[in-house]
Amino acid sequence: MKKLLNTAAAMALAAAFFATPALASDKSELLHDANQTVENLKHDPAFAQAAKMIGGARAVYIVPKLVKGGFIFGAEGGDGVLLVREGRGWSTPKFYGMGSASFGLQIGLEQAELVFIINSDLALRGIEKGNVKLGAGAGLTVVNLSSGAEGATTARGGDMVVWTSGSGAYAGISFNGSVIKADTEENAVPATGPAAEALRHNLSTVS
């Protein structure tokens, strides 16, 4: 019973990351940060492999700042943007938050960047519906980018491959139980302007 109560409390705490939508004034900043994350990915040693995956991806979900909540249950989360493949380019960015009771950030690591390379229609549809839970138990598999990640996505049908900053800080991490949820308020107005166009263009240069 105690374990059940702790689990429920942790899940409730993770949900707090979705309780307050991003302020409109933060829109451009989030797009700018996502663009910088793409730049960081381009200069990562694993980029060559990631580029091949992005070239064939259905969509990309970028979380520039995944942060620890600093609470007793260790909730973690962050705001992100989703871009869907449109021909040789990318769609207008849409805003989604991500949260979990704990992603297992290494001790001392308070922040990380994530890029989810979305390979399957199942994963994309789940995200676009507005509230998707990751993990094999939910029907969606997530593979960490590593020397064997490309084979894992093709041979074992991974729905998503995730690149992270932090020199392997996420090696072995599990995203099971993590939730991606649409920010309906921010998505009510299309993300246009210089920051959105810069992100779309930059992402096109890696795919």
**147-155 LR contacts (CB < 8 Å, sep 24+):** 149/49, 149/53, 150/49, 150/52, 150/53, 153/53, 153/119
Per-residue pLDDT, averaged over 17-43, amounts to: 76
Q: Are 85 and 57 in contact (CB under 8 A)?
A: yes
Instruction: Specify the DSSP class assigned to residue 92.
Output: P
* pLDDT tens readout for residues 116-135: 999 999 889 988 887 678 76
How far is it, in rounded angstroms, from Cα 14 to Cα 102?
8
- How many angstroms separate the CA atoms of 76 and 74, rounded? 6
Name the average pLDDT for the chain: 74
Per-residue pLDDT of 80-122, as tens digits, reads 999 999 988 999 999 999 887 665 555 455 677 889 999 999 8
Domain range annotation of the chain: 2-204
Output DSSP code: residue 170: T
Q: How confident is the model at residue 137 (pLDDT cuts 50, 70, 90)?
A: low
Alpha carbon 71 to chain centroid, angstroms = 22
Is beta strand 111-118 parallel, antiparallel or unpaired with respect to 59-68? antiparallel
Tell me what pLDDT residue 136 has.
59
| pLDDT of 24 strictly over 70 | no
**What's residue 47's pLDDT?**
65
Question: What counts of helices (H) and strands (E) characterise the chain?
Answer: 7, 9
Q: What is the pLDDT of residue 38?
A: 92
* Other beta carbons within 10 Å of 190: 11
Average pLDDT on 160-178 reads 65
Q: Tell me the pLDDT band of 57, cut-offs 50, 70 and 90.
A: very high
